[in-house]
Amino acid sequence: MTETTTIALIRHGQTPWNAEFRIQGRTDIDLNDTGREQARFAAKELDDSWNIVTSSPLSRASETAAIIAEGLGLSGPAHVDHLVERNFGRAEGLTAGDELEAVRLPGGFVDSETEAEVSARGLLALEHLRDTYAGKNVIAVSHGSFIRLTLQGLFDLTMPRINNAAVSIVTFTPDGWSLDTVNGVPAHELV
């Protein structure tokens, strides 16, 4: 691979479950009006250098990606299965409390995908995007835990919570992957 490929990982906009602090995982919850506005704002924050819009197949990511694509005058989104959110097993739909604690395990929850599994799948997703869209600037709308764990695994850094509609950018060059921004903040400013 000799071409530079840049990937903007964007978390979907807010959903009703985000507003209620419910764990969504693979449960397919639509955006709310706040989430749609966040997606429109994300599109305004991006410049015209982006070529392709992709997304997780879940509706909250797909709708966010469609809003961003429209705002940038791009087609899409193309769905990429590897971009789907972490499977949180029995924790999906729960909020903090006794019921959630009853299904908590070290590093996850009963019947959930492990952090290592998510991180490995995230690297596969980045490699797929890099290889499929070599030399392009790719927007990939996904999910908070997926983005955080992918970046943690790739760069061996502790990542902050990924905010709704926030942009995190990675670049692949012949020297390998580099981290440009997380939640719109330059990587060198991360503490």
Q: Which residues are annotated as a binding site for substrate?
A: 11-18, 60
Active site residue 79: no
> Would you tell me how many other CB atoms lie within 10 Å of the CB of residue 3?
12
The catalytic position among 20, 37, 79, 85 is 85
The CB-side HSE value for 142 (13 A sphere, CA atoms) comes to: 31
Active site residue 188: no
The catalytic position among 12, 63, 82, 92 is 12
Say how far apart CA 72 and CA 44 lie, in whole Å: 8
Radius of gyration of the chain (CA): 16
Which residue type does 167 have? V
Annotated binding site: 11-18, 60
Distances (CA, A) of 171 to 52, 56, 107, 180, 188: 15, 20, 28, 7, 15
Catalytic residues: 12, 85
